[in-house]
Structure 1
Amino acid sequence: MRILVIGKGGREHAILWVLAKSPKVSKLYCAPGNGGIASLAECVPIKELEFEKISAFALEQKIDLVMVAPDDPLVAGLVDHLEAKGITAYGPRQNAALIEGSKVFTKQLMIQYGIPTAAYASFTGYDEAVAYVRAQGAPIVVKADGLAAGKGVIVAKTVEEAEEALKSILLDKVFGASGSSVVIEEFLEGQEMSLLSFVDGTTVKPMAPSQDHKQVFDNDQGPNTGGMGTYSPLPHIPESVVEEALANIVRPMAEALVKEGRPFKGILYAGLMLTNKGVKTIEFNARFGDPETQVLLPKLKTDLVDIMLATLDGTLDQLDIEWTDEAAVCVVLASPGYPGSYPTGLTISGLDQISPEAMVFHAGTALGQSGEIVTAGGRVLNVVGLGKDIAEARENVYAEVRKIGFDGAHYRTDIAAKALKG
């Protein structure tokens, strides 16, 4: 099969890495790709939202399957566009991807179908939103309604912080149209868990749970990012909690989308909080998480091509998806200044020193003028280590991280530490 993957980050690198192992794949393309992806696939200089160029390329190259990985093109309707051109595409259609595209829509859907989530209110006006925050008090969570590259959620520890967040979103329009409305939620305490599932509309096949680290600094300090690292499985979280999440949240959401005439086909991502009142939903996403994908796919034994085809055919219930028993830990190396402004074009050293059993997925890299790998984003590299348990995988990944360098590189030193505290 000739497969085109849409995207340019570490998630897409991990997807292409596992697709390259499939005997069913004859040629891989990536649009637009990055400096590391270029070693696995032919990178095509087409951006994720250039729909006409993507479909023209797919038709010209006789692409058998387009895998749409990022949120922006899914929410904007790339799958619908490709299907209208007679091109087979993997990922939810626009009306189902709205569960990531609008937090207001998703909160309303969860309330309607009794899916556990934080209490909330939504606003389009600044004055009304501020009045609500002052009445509720802090801590409190402020979210831009639409997509904001993982940075549209502010956990405000004080009322003043919440007011500043509302000003940035609603008045200063730091997220553009994505901030035309906001969701204000009660602050939930507990451990977070990401639970991703393959879904073909009615059938839900869960992956192992994972845990992301959103804040930029150790001990969950500093502003939110797109994710500074993750690990899987979660040995300190009982299987009964995962079953509770599937029974009360993930499967009911898949069923709700079918009932609403929005059948979901693709990867359904549930961001969850394990509270003292049970598992509650923080968010839903309509695609593979980033960087969760980087610890999940290295453990996948079943051919990803078979899973995608079964999803599209509606036969996922007939496929037994197998995984290894290994633990995986991913550490993100970020540019100086991230998640704020950062330089690009910094030469990366040490990639040739990485052990064969480790994986380095490129998130924000490019090829320099002399063929060297340089930085080209905020999150630059995703380094993944495997082991018989979290402790071994953690030891392995940090040994590799220390081999890599570029000016001002920073990373968290406590990824997966929570799993070792019991």
Structure 2
Amino acid sequence: MNVLLLGSGGREHALAWKLAASPMLTRLYCAPGNPGIAKEAELVELDVADHAAVAAFCAEKDIDLVVVGPEVPLVAGIADDLRAAGVRILGPTKAAAQLEGSKGFTKELCARYGIPTAAFGRFDNLSAAKAYVEEKGAPIVIKADGLAAGKGVTVAMTLAEALAALEACFEGSFGSAGAEVVVEEYLEGEEVSFFCLCDGRTALPFGTAQDHKRVGDGDTGPNTGGMGAYSPAPVMTHELTERTMREIVEPTMRGMAEQGAPFSGILFAGLMITDQGPKLIEYNVRLGDPECQVLMMRLKEDLLVLLNAAVDGQLAHVSARWSDAVALTVVMAAKGYPGTPEKGSVIRGVDQAAGEGVEIFHAGTAINAGALVANGGRVLNVTAAGSTVGAAQARVYDAIDRIDWPQGFYRHDIGWRAIEREDNTEPS
């Protein structure tokens, strides 16, 4: 099979690495890709926002399947346009991608189909939103309705913080994404990333992970796109998985079909595990980044077989098997992130840091005068497998020690919650 992968980050490098291992693969192309992906795929210069150009490339290269990494093309309707051109693509329609493209859409779906989630209000003007926040008090959660690259959410612990977040949204800090806001009840519990591969009718559980959103050690500082992750999520018992499927995923699949927008592709449920059970925080319509990196390290199946089953409506006839190992990834970011990152600094030692059980996925990298340089905020994902979270973590930080990049930084405590759990369950 000839496959075209769209995207340029660490998630796409992990997907390319896994797709390249498939015996079914003939040629793998990636647009626009990065230097790490170039080791697995042929990079092509394509404007992913130009759907007609993507379709023309697919016709020229006899592409059998298009795999979309990031959310922006999906929300823009690339799946509709490529299907209309006769191209097979994994991903939801523009209508179904509203599950990520509009937080308000998802909250209304939850209300209509009885899906457990935080109580909420939806607002398109500042004064009404402020009045609601002042009535509810803090802590409270403020979310830009649209796509904001993982940065449009404020968990406000004080009223002043909540009001400032509202003003930032309506003053344009997140562009058109903040023209409408969702204000949510603050939920207590443990966050989990829960994934399903979907074909419009069937949802196949596709792994769990836990992400670290805050930029600093001890879960401090502003939210980011993710500073590290590990899989599986220890808190997700078999019972909680069954409840999540029964109470959240299956009603979503049913509801979307009833609304004329059956969901196919990858459904990523951000969950809060509360005292009352799992509650939906939000949906994404693609794999998480950096959760994808740890999932691909653990997946024992041929990824291409599973993706084809999703596209062909055959998920009821396949299964996804996972390694018993734990995978953990740490994001190395450029100084300045999640604000304005410093670009252009040289990174050395990446190839030497990779090794047995360690993969280094490129995110924001480029080649300049033959040297690997930082070209974004999140730059490298150092990823490893181990028998426990602690073992995987030790392997990752040992690899990081071999990377020479003074202009980069990273969190030193990825996996801390799971390691604390491991320590507390060890026999005395």
TM-score, length-normalised on structure 1?
0.97
What SS class does the counterpart of residue 230 from structure 2 fall into? strand
User: What does the per-residue CA deviation read over 1:297-340, in whole Å, with 9 as the maximum and x for residues that have no partner?
Assistant: 11112111111111111111111222211110010001101000
- Following superposition, the deviation at residue 237 of structure 1 comes to 4.2
- Following superposition, the deviation at residue 244 of structure 1 comes to 1.6
Is the Cα contact below 8 Å between 1:209 and 1:242 reproduced in 2? Answer: no
User: What does the per-residue CA deviation read over 1:97-153, in whole Å, with 9 as the maximum and x for residues that have no partner?
Assistant: 110000001000001000000000011101111111111111110000000000011
% identical equivalent positions: 49
User: What is the aligned partner in structure 2 of residue 61 from structure 1?
Assistant: 61
Trace 1:23-422 onto structure 2 (pairs within 5 A): 23-170=23-170, 172-357=171-356, 358-369=358-369, 371-422=370-421
Distance 2:145 2:129 in 1: 13
- Following superposition, the deviation at residue 238 of structure 1 comes to 2.8
Q: Which moved more, 1:94-103 or 1:296-305?
A: 296-305
Is the Cα contact below 8 Å between 1:211 and 1:231 reproduced in 2? Answer: yes
Query: Which letter maps to 1:90?
Result: L
Is the Cα contact below 8 Å between 1:69 and 1:91 reproduced in 2? Answer: no
Is the Cα contact below 8 Å between 1:189 and 1:275 reproduced in 2? Answer: yes
What SS class does the counterpart of residue 421 from structure 1 fall into? helix
Query: Which letter maps to 2:260?
Result: G
Is the Cα contact below 8 Å between 2:206 and 2:320 reproduced in 1? Answer: no
Distance 2:388 2:23 in 1: 30
User: What is the aligned partner in structure 1 of residue 424 from structure 2?
Assistant: none
Q: Which moved more, 1:106-115 or 1:87-96?
A: 87-96
What SS class does the counterpart of residue 309 from structure 1 fall into? helix
What SS class does the counterpart of residue 194 from structure 2 fall into? strand
Distance 2:351 2:296 in 1: 23
- Following superposition, the deviation at residue 221 of structure 1 comes to 0.6
Is the Cα contact below 8 Å between 1:212 and 1:230 reproduced in 2? Answer: yes
Q: Which moved more, 1:48-57 or 1:104-113?
A: 48-57
- Following superposition, the deviation at residue 186 of structure 1 comes to 0.7
Distance 1:175 1:355 in 2: 37
- Following superposition, the deviation at residue 355 of structure 1 comes to 3.6
- Following superposition, the deviation at residue 36 of structure 1 comes to 1.1
Distance 2:404 2:251 in 1: 45
TM-score, length-normalised on structure 2?
0.96
Paired positions, count: 420
- Following superposition, the deviation at residue 252 of structure 1 comes to 1.6
Distance 1:406 1:52 in 2: 40
Distance 2:337 2:138 in 1: 27
Distance 1:123 1:236 in 2: 34
Unaligned runs of 5+ in 1: none
